Amino acid sequence: MFSGYDSPVDPILAHVQAQQAPIVALIRRMVECESPSDDPRAVDRFVDLVSAEAAPFARVQTFPGGKFGKHLLCEFALPGPSKKKGEILALGHSDTVWPMGTLAQMPFREADGRLWGPGVLDMKSGIAFFLFAVRALRELDIPVRSRVKLLINSDEEVGSDSSRTLTQETARRAKAVLVIEPGTGLEGKLKTARKGVGDYTITVRGRASHAGVDFSAGASAIVELARQIERVSGFTNLKRGVTVNPGLVSGGSRSNVVAAEARAVIDIRAPRMRDAEILDRKFHALKPFDKRCQLEIHGGLNRPPMERSVGIVQLFRTAQRLARELGVTIEESMTGGGSDGNLTAALGIPTLDGLGAVGEGAHAVNESILINRIPDRTALLAKLIAAL
Ligand SMILES: [Zn+2]
């Protein structure tokens, strides 16, 4: 739990506390620059805003995002030895789940000790914190041993297809990855494990016929799909954290026609790679109940699990110790939601996630962050950068 600031106040924390107003001002500008994943021009505007903020103290590069906005990579100029050893990579995303125009109903506002608005928690505040963490290290002339990069992709909320390779290639050089996604719950727990996420599409092709005149000649794709859904739902194993969710179904043409085609899209989650592999074999082994129907199975794991490795635990312990110096007790958590941290952890790189803002309501109308946690989260990022 957050226990307030004990004296003597950590010098980085004191510095960041004095910066609270400009940090809030930057978050406001970021939230008011809407950036839905499916609007590349809007995302580019947001990326330009972040680039302009970072440019005075970073080498800034962008990469094309295909049908999405551009990806941004910043390498910061930091105090300490000019020849840096090793690399720290911070990961974030510029896109939000909120459609263009959401601001009209959900304007940025400051109330009840919180900042509110689309994308404020997931994850624009995290980006603002990171930029101010770097600034604090520069302004206080705190030596940093490692090269420090920040990669912000534009398609995290829609599966990171266009940024995946860039994320993996950039992370490969890093000794640690810091993901500035929001922390868990109103305590802002860090994330040391994330389930792997994937989806499967089951397409059933049956045989159409007139439901009244020629019922027996038909083989209903919908009935077949319903039985398959019942079967795959049985793959859920809550004890092992494995879940199978048929979240989307479609099919048929009219109520008086035996359906020729039906389709289900099924979300799967698994905390361990081994379970994901078993699940994959089960999906691909599905056979039709009605031999007159054909099944087509597509899909698989989209983000591999972030398994709680020794390296991740070490990184968490470091963060926990540094947080204690700030008067904050920090805990760890596991989540079923994926992030780009899944990709870097799967490469074997110690990855600590949930280092961004503390709040609630990601992807929901009550999206908000706690103002009184802005200083310690920003200071924690600065201290991690200096310590690694
Ligand atoms: Zn996010």
Contact assessment for residue 92 and residue 74, using Cβ atoms and an 8 Å cutoff: no
| pLDDT tens-digit map of 59-99 | 999 999 999 999 999 999 999 999 999 999 999 999 999 99
Tokens of 53: 């903020």
Q: Where are the alpha helices (DSSP H) in 55-178?
A: 125-139, 164-172
Tell me the pLDDT tens digit for each residue of 172-211.
999 999 999 999 999 999 999 999 999 999 999 999 999 9
Q: Express each pLDDT in 141-155 by its tens digit.
A: 999 999 999 999 999
Task: Verify cis geometry, omega within 30 degrees of 0, for the bond prior to 8.
Answer: yes
CB atoms within 10 A of CB 343: 24
Global pTM reads 0.89
**Residue 135 alpha carbon to ligand 1 centre in Å:** 23
**pLDDT at residue 133 in the model:** 98
Instruction: Give 180 Cα–ligand 1 centroid separation in angstroms.
Output: 8
pLDDT confidence of residue 9: 86
The residue written with tokens 């941290």 in the block is 341
Two structure tokens written together for 217: 């000649």
Cα atoms in the 13 Å half-sphere on the side-chain side of 270: 21
Name the residue type at position 79: P
- Kindly report, residue by residue over 342-376, the tens digit of the pLDDT: 999 999 999 999 999 999 999 999 999 999 999 99
Question: What percentage of the chain has pLDDT greater than the value 90?
Answer: 97
217 C-alpha to center of ligand 1: Å?
A: 50
Give me ligand 1 centre to Cα 157, in Å: 7
Q: pLDDT value at position 338?
A: 87
- For residue 1, pLDDT beyond 70: no
Per-residue model confidence (pLDDT) at position 27: 98
Q: Please state, as a whole number, how many other Cβ atoms lie within 10 Å of the Cβ of residue 234.
A: 10
User: Is residue 30 classed as helix, strand or coil in its secondary structure?
Assistant: helix
Cα(247) to centroid(ligand 1), Å: 21
Please state, in angstroms and rounded to a whole number, the distance separating the CA atoms of residues 329 and 325.
9
In the reported structure, the alpha carbon of residue 214 is separated from the centroid of ligand 1 by a whole-number distance in angstroms of 52
User: Nearest CA to 38 among 96, 93, 91, 104?
Assistant: 96
Distance from residue 59's CA to the centre of ligand 1 (Å): 24
Tally of CB atoms within 10 A around 25: 11
Cα–Cα separations (whole angstroms), residue 126 to 5, 132, 152: 21, 10, 11
CA of 38 to the centre of ligand 1 (A): 15
Distance in Å, CA 325 to ligand 1 centroid: 27
Taking the centre of ligand 1 as the mean of its atom positions, its distance from the CA of residue 176, in whole angstroms, is: 19
Distance 55 CA to ligand 1 centre (A): 23
CA-wise closest residue to 333 among 314, 318, 353, 349: 353
How would DSSP label each residue in 177-193?
A: EEE-SPPBGGGTBEEEE
Residue in 387, 325, 344 with CA at minimum distance from that of residue 191: 344
Interval between CA 223 and ligand 1 midpoint (Å): 38
Report the candidate in 361, 343, 338 with the shortest Cα–Cα distance to residue 191. Answer: 338
Confidence of residue 29 (pLDDT cuts 50, 70, 90): very high
Q: What pLDDT score was predicted for residue 4?
A: 52
